[in-house]
Chain A
Amino acid sequence: MRRYAIKRILLGIVTIIVVSIIVFFASRLSGDVVHLLLPDDATKEDEIRLRAKLGLDKPIPIQYLVFVKNLTQGDFGESIRYRLPVVEVILKRLPGTLELASAAFLLSIVFGVPLGVISATRRDSASDKAGKIFALIGQSMPSFWLGIMAILVFSVWLQLLPTSGRGDMEHLILPATTLGWFSVASIMRITRSAMLDTMDSDFIKMARLKGNSERIVVWKHGLRNALIPVVSMAGIQLAQLLGGAVIIEAVFGWPGLGSLILEAVYGRDYTLVQSGVLLTSMIFISLNLIVDLLYGFIDPRIRYG
Chain B
Amino acid sequence: MVGKTKKLPIGPIVLLLPMIVCGIFGQFFYPHNPEGMDLAISLRPPAWLPGGEWTNILGTDHLGRDLLTRLIAGARASLIVALFGVAIAGLTGISLGVVAGYFEGIIDNIIMRIVDSVMSIPAILLAILIAASLGPGITTIIISIAIVFWTAYARVIRGETLRIKQHDFVVQAKVTGCRSLRIMMKHIAPNIVATSMVLATLQLGQSIMVEAALTFLGLGLQPPASAWGLIISEGRGYLSTAWWIPTFAGLAIMMTVLGANMMGDWLRDALDPKLRQIL
Contact = CB atoms under 8 A, between A and B. Distances in A.
Contacts of B258: 136-137, 140
A284 B132 contact: no
Given A145-B232, A148-B246, A152-B247, 9 more contacts: A19-B120, A26-B133, A132-B3, A145-B249, A243-B123, A246-B128, A270-B132, A281-B122, A281-B125
A30 B122 contact: no
A280 B129 contact: no
Interface string A164-180: 00000000000000000
Interface in A199-246: 239-240, 242-244, 246
Contacts of B113: 14-15, 18
B138 interface: no
A136 B262 contact: yes
B86 interface: no
A277 interface: yes
Contacts of B117: 15, 18-19, 22
A143 interface: yes
Top 4 closest A-B pairs, CB basis? Answer: A243-B122, A145-B250, A18-B117, A140-B258
Nearest to A266: B218
A156 B124 contact: no
A151 interface: yes
Contact of A29 (B3, B118, B133): B133
Given A27-B133, A30-B135, A144-B216, A261 B243 contact: no
B114 A18 contact: yes
B166 interface: no
A148 B123 contact: no
Contact of B129 (A27, A156, A239): A27
Given A30-B133, A136-B262, A137-B258, A148 B122 contact: no
B37 interface: no
Contact of B243 (A11, A156, A240, A265): A156
A261 B125 contact: yes
Contact of B121 (A149, A244, A281): A281
Contacts of A132: 1-3
A233 to B, nearest CB: 13
Given A140-B205, A277-B126, A30 B134 contact: yes
Interface string A7-23: 00001001110110011
B24 interface: no
A29 B135 CA distance: 10
B162 interface: no
Nearest to A242: B122
B125 A142 contact: no
A140 B129 contact: no
Contact of A140 (B125, B246, B257): B257
A82 B239 CA distance: 32
Given A15-B116, A140-B261, A145-B246, A129 B2 contact: yes
Contact count band on A: 35 or more
A133 B121 contact: no
Contacts of B212: 142, 144-145
A18 B109 CA distance: 13
A250 B236 CA distance: 12
A285 B122 CA distance: 10
A190 B133 CA distance: 37
A132 B212 CA distance: 25
14 contacts: A28-B133, A129-B2, A136-B258, A142-B213, A142-B253, A142-B254, A148-B246, A149-B250, A156-B243, A242-B125, A244-B122, A265-B132, A270-B133, A280-B122
Contact of A19 (B121, B216, B247): B121
Nearest to A240: B122
A16 B120 CA distance: 8
B5 interface: no
A79 to B, nearest CB: 14
A265 B135 CA distance: 10
A102 interface: no
A152 B2 contact: no
A141 interface: yes
B114, B117, B132, B246, most chain A CB atoms within 10 A? B132
A137 B218 CA distance: 26
B189 interface: no
Interface in B14-36: none
A144 B213 contact: yes
A280 B120 CA distance: 9
Contacts of A261: 125, 128
B83 interface: no
A11 B120 CA distance: 12
